[in-house]
Amino acid sequence: MDFTIEGRLGTQCLLLWLLLLAAWEAGSGQLHYSIPEEAKHGTFVGRIAQDLGLELAELVPRLFRVASRERGDLLEVNLQNGILFVNARIDREELCGRSAECSIHLEVIVDRPLQVFHVEVEVKDINDNAPVFPAKEQRVEIYESRLPDSLFPLEGASDTDVGSNSILTYKLSFSEYFVLDVKTSSDDNKQIGLLLRKSLDREDAPEHKLFLIATDGGKPELTGSVQLLVTVLDVNDNAPTFQQSEYEVRIFENSDKGTRVIRLNATDLDEGTNGAILYSFSNRVAPVVTDQFNIDPNTGEIVIQGNLDFEEESLYKIRIDATDKGHPPMAGHCTVLVKVLDENDNVPEIAITSLSLPVLEDAPPGTVIALISVSDRDSGANGQVSCSLAPPEPFKLVSTFRNYYSLVLDSGLDREATAAYVVVVSARDGGSPPLRASASVSVEVADVNDNAPAFSQAEYTVFVRENNAPGCHLVTVSARDADARENARVSYALVERRVGARALSSYVSVHAQSGRVSALQPLDREELELLRFEVSARDAGAPALGSTATLQVFVVDENDNAPALLAPGAGAAGGARGELVPRAAGAGHVVAKVRAVDADSGYNAWLSYELLAAAGGPFRVGLYTGEVSTTRALDEADAPRQRLLVLVKDHGEPALTATATVLLSLVESGQAPAAASRAAAGAAGGAAALLDVNVYLIVAICAVCSLLVLTLLLYTALRCSAAAAAAAAALAAPGEGACGPAQPVLVSSSAAGSWSSSQQRRQRVCSGEGPPKADLMAFSPSLPPGPNGADMGNDQHIKEDHCASQAPPNTDWRFSQAQRPGTSGSQNGDETGTWPNNQFDTEMLQAMILASASEAADGSSTLGGGAGTMGLSARYGPQFTLQHVPDYRQNVYIPGSNATLTNAAGKRDGKAPAGGNGNKKKSGKKEKK
């Protein structure tokens, strides 16, 4: 019989489970299973992996796991086949008590990527608990005077099962005096009692023994019994009675102690002591009732003496006895149902699990960061919880199931702007007033290499003196990376290129960690004026990011080159020089010229000439021209042979010198013209040969000059179109314009009256602050005023235009009357105030050809881009501020002529002896260009 019942029970449970599995709601966000309680270990619950759409091979790699806020060890998943099975004994009554619904909520968590599934396993009740009476024996005392149909209440049985398994039916053993009376109240609560069928006779039967059997509605049925011992009492014949057999009272939880619940009133028809009533709790009430309530025995008033908590107990059933003081006493009975009402006295609870930290700053929106669950022990609206997030950006809460949320990324992150967030999750219930709770989540943002190093400045300008020591520190570059750790570790390197025929790394180096830039070798300004290169900075991220900065190293000149003497011949070096001087020469007659150049620049290349041991002699030397001339008319007393020692000195600190010896032979007037004619013939032949040799050089120079002029005109038209009139005025009046190129400016620089023209380097800062400035200051010694009262030594200051490129060389070899240098615009070129103009243009052309040929021979000519004698490019680089003087590489001598040419662009000397041929146009010779 037991085997049949157990098999039938298993079949019913299996059918019930199949029906529940078929009713699973797809798309509801959860799986629903059901199992009967008391299932054996290993009982199949469901194929959870298959139902969730997961592959069996993914369960272990993706860290498949099951968690439960309740008894997490009751159910388990076999990771080999994905089956959910019973792992331990499940007692529904222990798990859920008297609750009508009993479920185990499981959270199925799968990582990589993170997924959460909610599974609800309903525990079905089985009839495993028999009805139980409070005691094994119940005593009932009945006076013999009680009339038939009197009712005597009994304590019923209880069944911890639910549903039909807890529905009880009662049966009383046979008795001729008593029958069982069963009544069902409004809340399906059954009240049982003994109903007296006929009057009792204590003398006939003072005691009656009955059995009360309770049977539940389960399959199979279970029963419980209690023995009823009825004692027949004599005497008192009226018992106290209540107006109602059952009273219902509602009271809020957390009410104060002493609060009245109800006041009962029973009546007794007897008089005297038989009608005096005492109230008391029935001796069958639960101890929890006596702990929470108290009754006044005289008044019947029930008050609160404990703390009522709806979440612990929501209903109290109190049985009250009203007993008179008769002999024997008689009692009346009633039941008080105290229903506890919920108040919003529980704060919501927040639980944060499964944090995925830190979060990469390039994580896409929608990335799950944490799982959050909320709960509230209150009921109804007091237990309904809503969640919010602060700050709202860049995160948001996504509801995944009832009272379950996911904290996800709502927008992009930037670690450089915010490295960490403190996210506060707030929960608010629906009570009045509402209660709130909060929990914080610290979200750290992990760095990604998304920032390149940035230099503190895009361009560094450094000035270093030439002949520096090897390893000399030039500058320290610095770049900063906004990233962190390895992504912010910056290393520096040179951007390698060629500097002439050599690699950049042979000149400078940069320290990879500190950014310290050093010179590897001494720098020579005569070889390299400007070194422009780039330094790169790269971080250590993957992939690495980098940037570059430009460095300009200007080499500042030092006086490390002594003046070099030029021989009187065409480029031939020599020591002593011999000249024939007619005795008839008057004062101021130029008898010879000492020529010297200096490889330095500025003041270091500005040469001056002195005559040593010449006190009282008939000769002197021009301070800046090197021209040897007579101080008086020669006479017979002067020695026929004169030996002059000329000291050539630059203006450097300290000054460097060279000496030249000039041998003069005084001859009669008839011998001097013959020698002069022979020398002129030789010089003319050499010049003709030089013209033949350098014809291609002239063509090249003209082509380069034309191209440069065209380029500058186009650039000026585009950049200075709004100031065309000012540019034209600047071209017409050198040094007054603000943007246009200027003509070479001729300044008087010597006591002998020679003239030199300095190139103007025009560089514009484009700031509009003040007039343009020049890099040339020409000085002349203090001399007496000329014939027209003008000061021959007046300094000329050339302004520098800091916006345009350097001015191209003047393609017109002639100077107009207004442009010719001299005091107050005159043509005077020597100390007498006269300008010897014969063969001026021809001699100038020859001088420039000779200078170009000389530079081509020694490799220093740049033909428009360097520091050559022709002056086709600027001598100095930008921002050169050491010395504001021109490059005086002076006094290139042209054989057979009296013209001299300085090394700077546009300079020329037009000196001739006092007894020259005079103006070229007056002589009738053909003018050359």
Whether the predicted pLDDT of 558 surpasses 70: yes
**pLDDT value of residue 480:** 94
Q: Tell me what pLDDT residue 929 has.
A: 30
DSSP bridge partners of 66:
108
Mean pLDDT: which of 27-31, 58-62, 239-243, 271-275 is highest?
239-243
Q: What is the pLDDT of residue 746?
A: 34
- Judged by DSSP in three states, 906 sits in coil
Model pLDDT, residue 673: 54
Q: Tokens for 439?
A: 């929990």
Q: What angle do CA 122, 127, 133 make, to 5 degrees?
A: 125
pLDDT band per the 50, 70, 90 thresholds, residue 523 = very high
Asked whether 338 and 251 are in contact (CB, 8 A), the reply is yes
Residue 893's pLDDT band, with cuts at 50, 70 and 90, is very low
DSSP letter for each residue of 800-865: --SSS-PPPPPS-----TTTS-SGGG----STTS----TTHHHHHHHHHHHHHHHHHHHT---SSS
Q: In this model, does residue 835 exceed pLDDT 90? A: no
Whether the CB-CB separation of 540 and 486 falls below 8 Å is answered with yes
Tokens of 556: 């500042």
Residue ranges in 311-419 assigned as alpha helix (H): none
C-beta of residue 110 within 8 angstroms of C-beta of residue 63: yes
Q: How far apart are alpha carbons 830 and 750 in whole angstroms?
A: 9
Helix/strand/coil percentages in the chain, nearest 5: 15, 35, 50
Count CB neighbours of 220 within 10 A: 13
pLDDT class of 307 with cuts at 50, 70, 90: very high
Q: In whole angstroms, what is the distance from residue 180 CA to residue 190 CA?
A: 12
Mean per-residue pLDDT over the chain, rounded: 74
H helix runs in 659-759, sequence order: 671-693, 695-719, 724-732
CA 844/CA 852 separation, integer angstroms: 12
pLDDT given at position 138: 92
**Nearby residues of 542 by Cβ (< 8 Å), 6 or more positions away:** 449
Q: What is the model's pLDDT at position 213?
A: 93
Looking at this protein, which amino acid is placed at residue 804? A
Cα separation of the two ends of the chain: 143
Question: Positive or negative CA dihedral for 599, 600, 603, 609?
Answer: negative
The structure's pTM equals 0.46
Q: Is the pLDDT of residue 813 over 50?
A: no
- pLDDT of residue 889 exceeding 60: no
Q: Average pLDDT in the 159-178 region? A: 87
| DSSP bridge pairs for 614 | none
Question: What is the spatial distance between Cα 406 and Cα 373, in angstroms, rounded to a whole number?
Answer: 9
Q: What is the average pLDDT across 521-538?
A: 93
Instruction: Compute the average pLDDT of residues 592-606.
Output: 92
Q: Which of 308-317, 582-591, 825-834 has the lowest mean pLDDT?
A: 825-834
- CA separation for the pair 152, 154 (Å, rounded): 7
How far is Cα 300 from Cα 103, in angstroms, rounded to an integer?
Answer: 43
* φ/ψ of residue 435, rounded to 5: -105, 145
421 φ/ψ angles, rounded to the nearest 5 degrees = -125, 145
Q: Would you state the pLDDT for residue 298? A: 93
Helix (H) or strand (E) holding 215: strand 207-215
Residues 911, 922: Cα–Cα separation, whole Å? 17
Lowest mean pLDDT among 217-221, 231-235, 372-376, 450-454: 231-235
Q: Which residue in this structure is represented by tokens 């009339």?
A: 147
- pLDDT number for residue 561: 92
Structure tokens at 159: 């069944």
Per-residue model confidence (pLDDT) at position 791: 38
Residue 92 has a pLDDT of: 83
Strand-pairing partners, residue 854, are none
Check whether 49 has a pLDDT greater than 90: no
Percent of the chain's residues with pLDDT above 90: 31
Q: Residue 256 corresponds to which tokens in the numbers above?
A: 């104060």
172 Cβ contact partners less than 8 Å away, ≥ 6 residues apart? 178, 179, 180, 194, 210, 211, 212, 213
Give the pLDDT score at 818: 35
Give the pLDDT confidence score for residue 722 in this predicted structure.
53
What is the pLDDT, as a whole number, of residue 3? Answer: 37
| DSSP at 612 | E
Contacts (Cβ under 8 Å, ≥6 apart) of 44: 83, 85
Check pLDDT > 90 for residue 607.
yes
Question: What pLDDT score was predicted for residue 238?
Answer: 81
Would you state the pLDDT for residue 760?
34
Sheet with 30-36, side-by-side order of all strands: 30-36, 115-124, 103-110, 65-68
pLDDT of residue 477: 96
Helices and strands in the chain: count of H runs, count of E runs? 9, 57
Percent of the chain past pLDDT 70, that is, above it, reads: 69
The torsion angle over the Cα atoms of residues 155, 160, 164 and 165, rounded to 10 degrees, is: -100
Whether 161 shows a pLDDT value over 70: the answer reads yes
- In this predicted structure, what is the pLDDT of residue 89? 86
Residue range 57-78: mean pLDDT, rounded:
82
